[in-house]
Chains A and B, each alone.
Chain A
């Protein structure tokens, strides 16, 4: 019987965006050289707006002026991931899987669907049914996005990943048009359940479902 591949989970707490980016780059290189196992980073970022590679478009999806952003303490970063503009901040669990999709998971769309599945299952753990909307990547509760996805793949090694709103201050999303989609909203576990759910508890759920969806063991 084949055993599941090993997954190392690193819970990093609050990490600056640039720092997280550098760490990911280092880990991608190490994973490519087979120096490390598949790794899932779980962390939170301070307030930051990140622009995907479609920057030409995504700039216009930042609605706030640079002055207003500075006043709120929100940084702006350009990144190498897919997708449009995204907000990250406290209360949102960011997951960066650095995993090798070879040999059996070489399908970028399937990878995105799998990340959605992880977030859908976690949402279900809290009693809410999330789903997919065709053409709009992410995990959606009715018409509100609870989990966003932006992925980069280099020789089938993944980086960037997903962002799942737990107790995120959703007002910060008003600074942007999330992912360039203007007619939909955002939500969080807190908004849905009316409770402040501890981040580590949700991380446990994410790890559990990540392992089961991707057939990995800790």
Chain B
């Protein structure tokens, strides 16, 4: 009995898609004989069987994408394929009764937990001549056992079995929580005790709810590559960072005056002076003052970026792109304005070079242009913060002398990663930004 795992096809390869099973359940396979094909990036690879025996179970269907080192198949001895599930149920530890789930179509196989040898049948009919409905204990237990099965090698499991250790109780330090030989030996050294009853089932993914049924009045349009990438990145970011948001109101009246005074000058040089010009400069200053906002997290380390590379989100008809102004700390208001004008124009003309959308260390997004008072933006990984600029407009304000007046104002929001940045630090950054905008030095423009 041995498991076949998704092989690691290189350091950078984290997952693979099963393209085709060359062998079927019940087929005999020799060691090194092609067993299945995977696809990753633009590469297809034929994977030879690591073991000789009979293919007892296929756990990953064709088309399924699974992480490396996860179990995709089980290979065992031919004799075990005829064992009846009743015997497997008896040999199994008592398990609480559970509603028998219909067997997965790709793997009509009943598997019992250790210490009993795994019993499997090539087809449901052979498994007792009944309808395809193996005994409750037999179908229910593999789920509970899956946790440790996925995360140990045959050697480790043999050691575990010899010492009567439940592997799910052993802390794994290997890839993906895998229990290594050292882990189990250390566990035994510390006097690890024999297994407790199987732990609770691993959390299952939420069931996929179909978005439409055949015959529904819908039109199905495949996502563009860009759309898919945005979708993946947003979910990845939500899962990676502990997002927290904070909103400040900023008085742009002074900046509005400077802008009016200097606009024509800038235009003569072919550059538009916008509120974004001031915000970029103020953000750079604030990042210099609070450098932890200009970092990334790498494992347990904080990576401080020596340069400030400002990503500015640009909306496109067909999506969204974030061109990056490299070395923004070396640029003045004119330079920043010119850079973003050029990048945005080329983004819309699809003329950006690949490295012009990479390497950002902090991002500014501008939901205000679409009328939003403020946004709650999602961080662009692997950055740790993102600034959202809300609509800038004239508002009624209480002035210093308690009079009521009209000021140009807008909200600024920040989304930050609370793993690294606490509220006080984020607010220090935002206060710095606000102060810079409200006291902007006209000579700097």
Residues of A bordering B, CB below 8 Å: 52-54, 80-83, 106-112, 129, 131-138, 140, 142-143, 149-155, 179-184
Assess whether A152 is in contact with B225, with CB atoms less than 8 Å apart: no
Binding stretch for chain A, among B41-49, B90-98, B300-308, B382-390 = B41-49
Instruction: Indicate whether A109 sits within 8 Å of B41 (C-beta atoms), given known contacts A154-B34, A154-B46, A183-B224.
Output: yes
B19 at the interface (CB under 8 A from A): yes
CB-contact partner of A108 in B13, B351, B355, under 8 A: B13
B269 at the interface (CB under 8 A from A): no
Q: Apart from A80-B37, A108-B13, list 12 A-B contacts with CB within 8 A.
A: A54-B19, A81-B44, A108-B43, A109-B40, A112-B43, A134-B354, A137-B41, A151-B44, A152-B46, A179-B42, A180-B225, A181-B225
CB-contact partner of A150 in B20, B37, B42, under 8 A: B42
How far, in whole Å, are A119 and B13 apart by their CA atoms in the complex? 22
Assess whether B39 is in contact with A53, with CB atoms less than 8 Å apart: yes
How far, in whole Å, are A83 and B11 apart by their CA atoms in the complex? 21
CB-contact partner of B352 in A108, A142, A149, under 8 A: A142
Instruction: Indicate whether A54 sits within 8 Å of B39 (C-beta atoms), given known contacts A131-B353, A154-B34, A182-B225.
Output: yes
Which residues in B have their C-beta under 8 angstroms from that of A111?
Answer: 10, 43
CB-contact partner of B45 in A108, A136, A179, A180, under 8 A: A108
- Residue of B at shortest CB range from A156? B45
B212 at the interface (CB under 8 A from A): no
Assess whether A107 is in contact with B9, with CB atoms less than 8 Å apart: yes
How far, in whole Å, are A154 and B355 apart by their CA atoms in the complex? 33
Assess whether A82 is in contact with B41, with CB atoms less than 8 Å apart: yes
Assess whether B11 is in contact with A53, with CB atoms less than 8 Å apart: no
Q: List 13 A-B pairs, Cβ < 8 Å.
A: A109-B13, A109-B41, A111-B43, A112-B41, A153-B43, A153-B46, A154-B34, A155-B48, A179-B42, A180-B225, A181-B225, A183-B226, A183-B350
- Residue of A at shortest CB range from B9? A108
CB-contact partner of B354 in A54, A109, A140, A154, under 8 A: A140
- Residue of B at shortest CB range from A129? B353
Which residues in A have their C-beta under 8 angstroms from that of B44?
Answer: 52-53, 80-82, 151-153
Assess whether B354 is in contact with A133, with CB atoms less than 8 Å apart: yes
How far, in whole Å, are A94 and B43 apart by their CA atoms in the complex? 16
How far, in whole Å, are A198 and B11 apart by their CA atoms in the complex? 39
Cβ contacts B1-37/A at 8 Å (1 or 0 each): 0000000011111000001100000000000101001
How far, in whole Å, are A136 and B225 apart by their CA atoms in the complex? 9
Which residues in B have their C-beta under 8 angstroms from that of A181?
Answer: 225
A34–chain B nearest beta-carbon distance, Å:
15
Which residues in B have their C-beta under 8 angstroms from that of A132?
Answer: 354
How far, in whole Å, are A155 and B34 apart by their CA atoms in the complex? 9
Instruction: Indicate whether A151 sits within 8 Å of B43 (C-beta atoms), given known contacts A107-B11, A136-B225, A183-B225.
Output: yes
A56–chain B nearest beta-carbon distance, Å:
8
CB-contact partner of A109 in B12, B351, B353, B358, under 8 A: B12
Which residues in A have their C-beta under 8 angstroms from that of B370?
Answer: none
How far, in whole Å, are A183 and B230 apart by their CA atoms in the complex? 14
A31–chain B nearest beta-carbon distance, Å:
14
B229 at the interface (CB under 8 A from A): yes
CB-contact partner of B42 in A83, A133, A142, under 8 A: A83
Which residues in A have their C-beta under 8 angstroms from that of B34?
Answer: 154
CB-contact partner of B19 in A53, A110, A138, A184, under 8 A: A53
Cβ contacts B340-360/A at 8 Å (1 or 0 each): 000000000011111100100
Assess whether B45 is in contact with A107, with CB atoms less than 8 Å apart: no
A87–chain B nearest beta-carbon distance, Å:
15
How far, in whole Å, are A188 and B48 apart by their CA atoms in the complex? 38
How far, in whole Å, are A82 and B37 apart by their CA atoms in the complex? 10
Q: CB within 8 Å of A: which of B320-348?
A: none
How far, in whole Å, are A136 and B44 apart by their CA atoms in the complex? 16
Which residues in A have their C-beta under 8 angstroms from that of B11?
Answer: 107, 110
- Residue of B at shortest CB range from A159? B44
How far, in whole Å, are A150 and B350 apart by their CA atoms in the complex? 25
User: Sorted from nearest, which 5 A-B pairs have the closest CB atoms?
Assistant: A107-B10, A82-B44, A137-B42, A153-B45, A108-B9
Which residues in A have their C-beta under 8 angstroms from that of B45?
Answer: 108, 152-154
How far, in whole Å, are A150 and B43 apart by their CA atoms in the complex? 6
Instruction: Indicate whether A82 sits within 8 Å of B12 (C-beta atoms), given known contacts A133-B354, A155-B48, A183-B225.
Output: no
- Residue of B at shortest CB range from A179? B42
Assess whether A106 is in contact with B355, with CB atoms less than 8 Å apart: no
- Residue of A at shortest CB range from B228? A135
How far, in whole Å, are A183 and B42 apart by their CA atoms in the complex? 18
Which residues in A have their C-beta under 8 angstroms from that of B41?
Answer: 82, 108-109, 112, 137
Which residues in B have their C-beta under 8 angstroms from that of A53?
Answer: 19-20, 37, 39, 44
Assess whether B43 is in contact with A131, with CB atoms less than 8 Å apart: no
Which residues in A have their C-beta under 8 angstroms from that of B355?
Answer: 131
Which residues in A have their C-beta under 8 angstroms from that of B13?
Answer: 107-109
Which residues in B have their C-beta under 8 angstroms from that of A52?
Answer: 44
A172–chain B nearest beta-carbon distance, Å:
20
Instruction: Indicate whether A142 sits within 8 Å of B353 (C-beta atoms), given known contacts A107-B12, A183-B318.
Output: yes
- Residue of B at shortest CB range from A160? B44
Instruction: Indicate whether A142 sits within 8 Å of B43 (C-beta atoms), given known contacts A108-B9, A135-B229, A183-B318.
Output: no
Instruction: Indicate whether A151 sits within 8 Å of B358 (C-beta atoms), given known contacts A183-B226, A183-B318.
Output: no
Which residues in B have their C-beta under 8 angstroms from that of A129?
Answer: 353
Assess whether A134 is in contact with B352, with CB atoms less than 8 Å apart: no
How far, in whole Å, are A134 and B229 apart by their CA atoms in the complex? 10
